[in-house]
């Protein structure tokens, strides 16, 4: 299963959906993500620090723990062309499309808590490639 940053951040910062995200982390499923997840999770953690919701030292420790549950973090160059095609087809940010491209490669779904991605793909050929964290069942 491909896990995006909206789920991975819930592993290290308590928020709605964190319990479901922890079930994913403890599952026996093979978890993969593009290496981009570290930048996206780091950006989310930085925003939490700026908002005064997380202390800087906690954010520094948390970013180191994001990668731990993954069986593989996949390099971006092999996914870039496909991610670009998907971004243009969906008219959506390429960041999320790297996750979709990886899901295509692994013939699986992207698990996400990102409502924009869920809405953007709802009535497209990518709908089967995106699963909501709220619907996850171990």
pLDDT at 11 over 90: yes
Q: How confident is the model at residue 10 (pLDDT cuts 50, 70, 90)?
A: very high
- What are the structural domains, with CATH classification, of the chain? 2-135 (3.40.50.1010)
Q: Distance between CA 70 and CA 68 in Å, rounded?
A: 6
Predicted structure pTM score: 0.94
Q: Which residue has the tokens 């790297």?
A: 98
pLDDT tens-digit profile of 17-74?
999 999 999 998 999 999 999 999 999 999 999 999 999 999 999 999 999 999 999 9
In terms of Cβ atoms closer than 10 Å to its own Cβ (0-12, 13-18, 19+), residue 55 is exposed
């Amino acid at each position: 299963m491909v896990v995006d940053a909206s789920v991975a951040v819930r592993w290290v910062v308590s928020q709605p959906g964190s319990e479901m995200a922890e079930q994913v982390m403890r599952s026996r499923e093979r978890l993969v993500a593009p290496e981009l997840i570290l930048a996206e999770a780091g950006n989310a953690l930085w925003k939490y620090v700026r908002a005064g919701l997380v202390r800087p030292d906690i954010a520094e420790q948390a970013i180191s723990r994001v990668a731990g549950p993954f069986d593989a973090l996949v390099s971006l160059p092999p996914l870039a062309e496909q991610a670009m095609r998907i971004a243009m087809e969906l008219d959506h940010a390429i960041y999320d499309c790297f996750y979709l491209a990886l899901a295509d490669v692994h013939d699986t779904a992207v698990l996400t808590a990102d409502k924009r991605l869920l809405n953007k793909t709802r009535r497209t050929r990518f709908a089967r490639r995106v699963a909501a964290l709220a619907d996850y069942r171990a």
